[in-house]
Chain A
Amino acid sequence: MRSKLFLAVLAVFLFVPLMVAAEGKAAKEEAKVTFFWALYDGLTEEFRAEIEDDFNATYDDMKVEIVPIAWNLMYDKITTAVAGGAPPELCVIGTRWILDFMESDAIEAVTKYVSEKTINNIAPGAMEAKIGGELMGLPVAAGARILAYNADISDKAPKTMEELRQLAIKVTNPPDTYGLIMPGKKFTELTDFAYYLYAAGGDFFEMEPDGSYGKSAFNGPEGVKALEFMVQLATKDKVVQEGYLSLDRMNSHPVFYTGKVAYCFIGAWVESAYNQAGATFDLKYGQIPPFRGDDGKTLIITDSIALFKDAKNKEAAGKFLDFFYQDKYKAKFDELIGFPPVTISAGKLPQFQTPLYKTLIDAALRAKGWPLMAGFDEITAIIWDANVEAFLGKKTPKKALDDAAAKIDAMRGM
């Protein structure tokens, strides 16, 4: 009896690895592409499933698994996967993360695997991920930030930040109406400070003659002006939505869609998110205004699809990208997320000739991106904390930014 039991246990130990190996062999027959898919506002599960099903039906020897991941969690998810030695084939990333991945030799140029036809169909201006002549990420979304406003509350697009403030003060009547949306809780991106900093003509870092980034510049007069203005709006004029310090981008924008707020600095997804929220107010678009007398700019953000060096099925990943970048899918993707198309062919489609896209194209003409530097995520967190300290009145805007700049410069060895 005992020996039978012993044999039975032994058999289980032998069979389990054999079954696992057999499963692995079966899996090897079709090259599996794992794609970490960022959940942009506006994207639907039906669309994700449609691409997955269509690709899997088209190719017998390849299979794609599109894994939806919230934007706020994407950085953690991909760095953990790469550090754990199990990266996906493809991942949507903020283009600003590319240098971190390059520094770690984790990604490859997409041009090695994606067809020339697909690459040639990408608008040259969207290729922010071209580093040292190599395209290290295929542009997936590129959009300048704009001003969206509720014309039922205020039917005027301000020309300057000062005018925006006056208009916001005029319409604010809490708890029924507020002048402006301002997320005050730390988010994966530092967009709101960037809007005001760029509007004041400022920048995050000094530029060295060789094109590299020097010491912090966000604590200069433009940065201080930007943060003082934000603090003024939030704590003195009180024109921003209630509880701004506890709301990040994801849970403050819904307040705009309720129709209670006049102005919101936002991205191209505004229209689809507005529709999905079932909002009915008169939504109009304008440019994020500069400060009076300043050469203000707006922020443009590009995201890319990176291809990971240690992934198993890179050839199949290239094939999937060719498949996804057909107008049938990519144009629909752009339409859902509301970003202007990055492909030349989709840019000519009638659905992209609307007032929103016109505003976005105009905004792109005076836009600039994030500093493209390694470790920007930590820098973002430090500046966010400085913003919050100023909002809380723990420090003056100047002191908060000076302290943050000193910390960042020390961290960067400057």
Chain B
Amino acid sequence: MANMRVLQPRRKGHFWTTESKLAFLFLLPATIYLLAFMIYPILNVIIMSTYQTSKMAKMLKFTGFTNYWNLFQRKDFWQVMLRSIYWTGLAVAVKTVFGMVIALLLNVKYTGRKVARTLIIIPWASSIPISSLLWTWVYHPEFGLLNYTLKVTGIWKNPPVWLGAPASAFFSVIWVDIWIGIPFMTLVFLAGMQSISQDLYEAAEVDGANALKRFIYVTLPGLRDVLLIATLLSTLWTFNDFNTIYIITEGGPANSTHILITYIYENTFHFLKWNYGAVMAVITFIILSIIAWIYSRVYFRRET
């Protein structure tokens, strides 16, 4: 590619040529869409975060960084922030490990592999709100499939009320997020594994490497970029996972399952504190922008 660039004479660029005119025209709808539906709302939220707001989101008085300062004084904000980090870290780690193990299993040749590959996609292919509603009923203490199975099989005669206590509610909800997210990781890892040359495995085998060593020295290095991209994407989605938490627990019991994204929603649309909602949205935006920036660096490095 680089050689070709050298061979081609450098064309003198003009901003407004017949060719570029058409290109700009084609770009116009996307640009208008981006400006109207992404850039404007983002700017508006940033501005709103520096204003005192009415209950119907009218910006009343410029207050500078007072909203930020007030929010940082709130203990509940820091608890939610810490939980968001914990939630994201734990969920992404488990999804990565499970995804990797399942991808390895699906990469082995056996009868029924195609069926297994199809089945694994189901949680990811289903709508997240529907999956969350389904799990709400699975966890139901009276009619739920989980407790019923535990009781009937004698595994646990008095199973806990999964969504009734802070710790069990947190782990129950995070499990749903993990359950939904595993197929994506599996598919990405599987695609990555299939792009690793079989010659490398054969060479390793000739050198006497066992399965674990082949995984460590061939598979993992081969998956390095894929692993990084998949975990970064998963981090973005997990940090932003509103549906699962809001549908299953609405942040309860006693606010023990709120993460930043659900807390923004509650402050903004329940309590009508648009300014605090905006401040938290700006903070979320900054965090996710950093992750997105790292992602793009990795992605484009891989492309070149």
Contact = CB atoms under 8 A, between A and B. Distances in A.
Partners in one complex: yes
Interface of A: 2, 5-6, 9-10, 13, 75-76, 79-80, 82-84, 100, 103-104, 106, 184-186, 241-247, 251, 254-255, 258, 374-375, 377-378, 381, 385, 388-389, 392, 394
A13 B140 CA distance: 53
B254 interface: yes
Contacts of B165: 245, 392
Most chain A beta-carbon neighbours within 10 Å: one of B22, B140, B164, B254:
B254
Interface of B: 18-19, 21-22, 25-26, 28-29, 54-58, 136, 139-143, 161-166, 169, 249-250, 252-255, 266, 269-272, 274
B56 A104 contact: yes
Contacts of A2: 18-19, 22
Contacts of A247: 140-142
A185 B270 contact: no
A135 B56 CA distance: 21
A375 to B, nearest CB: 8
Contacts of B255: 385
A13 B56 CA distance: 35
Task: Kindly list the 6 A-B residue pairs having the minimum CB-CB distance in the complex, ordered from nearest.
Answer: A243-B141, A246-B163, A245-B164, A243-B161, A104-B56, A83-B57
Contacts of A381: 266, 270-271
Nearest to B163: A246
B253 A185 contact: yes
Contacts of B57: 83-84
Contacts of B142: 241-243, 247, 255, 258
B228 to A, nearest CB: 37
Contact of A244 (B58, B164, B166): B164
A79 B56 CA distance: 7
B54 A394 contact: no
Given A184-B164, A185-B253, 5 more contacts: A79-B272, A100-B272, A185-B163, A247-B142, A375-B271
Contacts of A389: 254
B154 to A, nearest CB: 15
A243 B22 contact: no
Most chain B beta-carbon neighbours within 10 Å: one of A244, A385, A394:
A385
Given A2-B22, A246-B161, A255-B142, A186 B250 contact: yes
B141 A185 contact: no
29 contacts: A5-B22, A6-B21, A6-B25, A9-B22, A9-B26, A13-B28, A79-B55, A79-B56, A79-B269, A79-B272, A83-B56, A83-B274, A84-B57, A100-B55, A106-B56, A184-B164, A185-B250, A242-B142, A244-B161, A245-B165, A246-B140, A246-B163, A246-B169, A251-B136, A254-B143, A374-B55, A378-B271, A381-B266, A392-B254
Contacts of A246: 139-141, 161-164, 169, 253
A87 to B, nearest CB: 10
A180 to B, nearest CB: 14
A245 B253 contact: yes
B253 A392 contact: yes
B284 to A, nearest CB: 18
A243 B140 contact: yes
Nearest to B265: A76
Nearest to B267: A378
Contacts of A103: 54-55
B253 A242 contact: no
Contacts of A6: 21-22, 25
A321 to B, nearest CB: 23
B269 A80 contact: yes
Contacts of A394: 254
A2 B140 CA distance: 63
A396 to B, nearest CB: 15
A5 B162 CA distance: 61
A392 B269 CA distance: 27
Contacts of A104: 54-56, 58
Nearest to A185: B252
A317 to B, nearest CB: 20
Contacts of B272: 79, 100, 375, 377
B262 to A, nearest CB: 12
A97 to B, nearest CB: 10
A186 B166 CA distance: 13
Contact of B252 (A13, A186, A251, A377): A186
Nearest to A87: B56
Nearest to B274: A83
B276 to A, nearest CB: 11
Contacts of B252: 185-186, 388
A103 B56 CA distance: 9
A230 to B, nearest CB: 15
A80 B300 CA distance: 39
A280 to B, nearest CB: 18
A120 B249 CA distance: 44
Nearest to B22: A6
Most chain A beta-carbon neighbours within 10 Å: one of B56, B136, B161:
B56
A71 to B, nearest CB: 14
Nearest to B271: A378
Contacts of B249: 185
Most chain A beta-carbon neighbours within 10 Å: one of B22, B25, B252, B269:
B252
Nearest to B21: A6
Given A79-B269, A104-B55, A251-B140, A9 B25 contact: yes
Nearest to A72: B250
A2 B21 CA distance: 11
B137 to A, nearest CB: 8
Contacts of B55: 79, 100, 103-104, 374-375
